[in-house]
Amino acid sequence: MFSVMVYVEKIWVSLFFIGCLQVLVNSQNLTCNPSDFSGLKGFMQELESPIDGWFVSKSSCCNWVGIVCDSVSGRIVNLELPNKRLSGGFSDQISSLDQLRTLNLSHNFLKGMIPVSLFSLTNLETLDLSSNVFSGGFPVSINLPALKVLDFSVNSFLDSIPAGICVNSTGIRVLKLAAGSLIGSIPIELRNCAFLEHICVASNSLSGAIPEFLFHLPRLMELDLQDNLFTSIAGIGNSSSPITRLDISSNRLSGDLPDFFHKFPRLTHFSAHSNSFSGRIPSSLSNSPAINSINLRNNSFIGPIEFNCSLMANLTALDLGTNHFSGFIPDDLSSCHKLKAINLARNKFNGEIPQSFSNFQSLTYLSLSNCSLSNLNTTLKILQHCPNLTVLVLTLNFRGERLPDDDSLHFKALKALVIPNCELTGVIPQWIRGLTRLQLLDLSWNQLTGTIPSYLGDFESLFYLDLSNNSLSGEIPKSLTRLPSLCNLNVTLEEGSPDFPFFKRPNTSTRGLPLQYRQIMSFPPLIDLKYNSLNGSIWPEFGNLKRLHVLNLKHNDLSGGIPSELSGMTSIETLDLSYNNLSGRIPPSLVNLNFLSEFSVAYNRLSGIVPSGRQFGTFSNSSFEGNKDLCGSTCEDSLATRSTTRRSKKSNGPIVGMAVGIGFGTLFILALMFLIVLRATRKQEIGPEKDDGYCSSKEEPESKLVVFFQTKDELSINDLLKSTNSFDQANIIGCGGFGLVFKATLPGGQKVAIKRLTGDAGQVDREFQAEVETLSRAQHPNLVLLQGYCQHKNDRFLIYSFMENGSLDYWLHEKPDGPLKLNWATRLRIGQGAIKGLAYLHESCDPHIVHRDIKSSNILLDENFEAHLADFGLARLLLPHDTHVTTDLVGTLGYIPPEYGQASLASYKGDVYSFGVVLLELLTGKRPMDMCKPKGSRDLISWVMQMKQENRADEVFDPLIFDKDNSKEMLWVLEIACVCLNESPKLRPSSKELLDWLHHGNIHT
């Protein structure tokens, strides 16, 4: 009996699937409804290129890509074309599809106004036009009674939120209008949308008060209002709200934070950072039982911290940094047993940390910087009992105390120990030797004495060591030259805690701003021992540290020569040996350090000739000053002249007397003329010559004017000085080829970027002239425009268009919320723009140009996030039929094609390889090189290739942008990137082919 039932069941299942298949076949074979077919043709006519998979000559539209028809009526019910690279206008004939239920045209390049007729599709349930370039406003009347999901995010409407959305669309559940350039206030009509579950209007210019009715919407769970101009919160009234996530951060809210959190019984995540809230934390928030994450960073809250952790059992992340909290750190905070990350930095606490902190079992990240704490010894004894503590930041505390030398201290999991700027005394203790998982150690800006312990070289994972600005003495331990993580490619480093960012102190390169690192792995591999009293010589074995990026030994008492073996530090970017007692010559082998961008041996006792070529041609005189026996390339000429003179004396004896007589007479006349000219010149001088090369406000005729290519504007060097405040470091916005880049506002109000080239005029004049001539001819919408240039004394200036949004590198890797704001459509558009610019340089520019340094920091973004290739300071002109050019400087670490390691040849195909790396950055959100990643994933290319080989390609994508809707397109771009990264240059595509692939999707390999 049982077997018969099973047999019958199988028959029914088979019949069911046969029926479904028949319905599907019928659907696909349906002839297009004439009204629908007309609407589709009208839709296509407004587009700039045809849609793949659409055949207008055939009327069977139900099997076209992205279209679903009803199996009975044959009418189109779904039209979904996300990430199809559609561009052009949006035809109002789309309204002919009057049975449409789902319309998804997101992540394309559609522009213009949304047709009014679209808002009359009475059957429409889902309308997604996000991530396009739509502009204009919304209609007053919106008749979408079936609407459930509306997403217009990431457009340029410059209008207010449509007040009519909830007049007829009362059943809407999801409303997303983020980054739509919206203005005005939130309309009260939204209160009619009683079924709303999710509202996101982040990153607009909405203003006024956050209305009370939002909190009364009976089904609302997520409310995202961050990054607007709201100034107040109207309140919540007496009713409760079902909201689980509330984000009001980055607005202009001030005063007391409303005490209304008892009306949010389900609230799990609350963020109000970067406002101007003051007063105390409301008691209803500090007693919220469901809360999981609280972020009140960067406000002006005062008073003691009071949390009822007996009720807040679910709290895992607490960020109260940069406020005005005072008193003692609360003793009962440890009762929040699930806390993993705590940031209390930059407040006004005093006293010691509570003994109860030893009870934290889940804590991984703790930052107490700048909190006026005392008793470091007790602090460490307490915190050593936190078994999972990974990052400990205690900057600017424990003033003048002694660094404990207690062998009983032991931290099992610690990877980052940061205790700088505390004026600590004592020696570097032995207990640090027990931090076997240590990756980062910063004890800088203290008053430590004694020697650097040799055990620091035994740490398997240590890659960042900062002991600068102390009073350490003795030799540099040779063991530091054997740090496995800096010289051994097979060492695997574990990832650090990513919970909260922490900060390094300001320095000159960051314009007074603190350096922010979101996690340990973001720190550069570094050994910084500057400003101590170290003696002895520099170990030749430092050349073994092939992973090291920064070596700073300045202001010590080191002696001996500069080892030629330092050229083995093939990743070094900063090498500072200034203010020591080094002697001998600068090794010529150092010119092989291809990534060296900061170098100084000033104020030593060096002699001989400064090496020339490659980066050494870009270093200014200040890198070598204070060495009286050191000379540049002109030294060889003067030595040769003296040698020739000595030989001449032996053969010209008969005319010596005549030469001497004439010589003395001539010298007397010249001396007299010199005195006359000198007196006249001194009368005209305003002041002594400054170190930066500007002697006065007087302008020399030959260097007076700024030359503009496109306009007849006349500016002087004084105008440039005023516009940059004499090139003050506060105006530095980047470092391009051969110099720093400054932001400037010219007298007419125009914003520009001015590159001040480094090095002597004689050293860089050739590069300057080449760059000016090249860029004056290179005119393309996706290149950074060179507007003009100026020569003044030993200075050279290039004036570029100003890019409002900075570099792609900044948005992907430095700006905290940058990756989130770069959705896939924007990233793809950036890649398409960059290849347009590169193809122009390779194919159309006369003469053709090899860029040689394609990277994300050389892709600048304007106010519309359009890409512009920058920094042609490294480019060389090519003859129309040349395929490569000899070069001295070849790119940036992580972007360099493999063939550049075999010969100094820059080629078009080398640029294509570097562009492939940029595509991987856009897809993954990761940097090209990250030495702290596990083995096999430290360099992005190797990791991606390995994941592809394991059929796990979809795991490499940035989770912030990856979803099923754009997965096919992202996999397609990944294939393009991998073709670019072929080890054989001949098998890589041309930039022209890439241009076609990225815009039309045709790959022929």
Query: Which active-site residues does the annotation give?
Result: 853
Residues 69, 721: Cα–Cα separation, whole Å: 66
DSSP reduced 3-state for 500: coil
Chain position carrying tokens 């700088």: 420
Backbone torsion region of residue 739, taken as left when φ is above 0, otherwise alpha when ψ lies between -120 and 50, otherwise beta: left
Residues 157, 133: Cα–Cα separation, whole Å: 9
Chain position carrying tokens 């430092």: 542
Residue 755 annotated as binding site: yes
Contact predicate 778/849, CB 8 Å: yes
Please list the helix, strand and coil fractions of the chain in percent, rounded to the nearest 5, in that order.
30, 20, 50
Report CA 190 to chain centroid distance, whole Å.
37
Closest CA to 921 of 949, 892, 894: 894
Residue 8 is inside which H or E element, if any? helix 2-29
Residues 476, 439: Cα–Cα separation, whole Å: 19
Residues 770, 558: Cα–Cα separation, whole Å: 41
What is the full DSSP assignment across 345-376? -SSEE-B---GGGGG-SS--EEE-TTS-B--H
Q: What is the dihedral of CA 715, 721, 722, 723, to 10 degrees?
A: 80
According to DSSP, the residues that pair with 233 across neighbouring strands are 210
Closest CA to 85 of 72, 66, 67, 71: 66
Treating both helix axes as pointing N-terminal to C-terminal, what angle do 967-980 and 991-1000 enclose, rounded to 10 degrees? 170
Residues 870, 350: Cα–Cα separation, whole Å: 49
Closest CA to 243 of 216, 282, 225: 216
Contact predicate 405/429, CB 8 Å: yes
Residues 128, 126: Cα–Cα separation, whole Å: 6
Residues 851, 875: Cα–Cα separation, whole Å: 5
Q: Which two tokens stand for residue 574?
A: 């900063």
Supply φ then ψ for residue 749, to 5 degrees.
95, -5
Q: Which two tokens stand for residue 571?
A: 């990743």
Residues 546, 525: Cα–Cα separation, whole Å: 10
Contact predicate 834/697, CB 8 Å: no
Binding residues: 755
Binding residues for ATP: 755
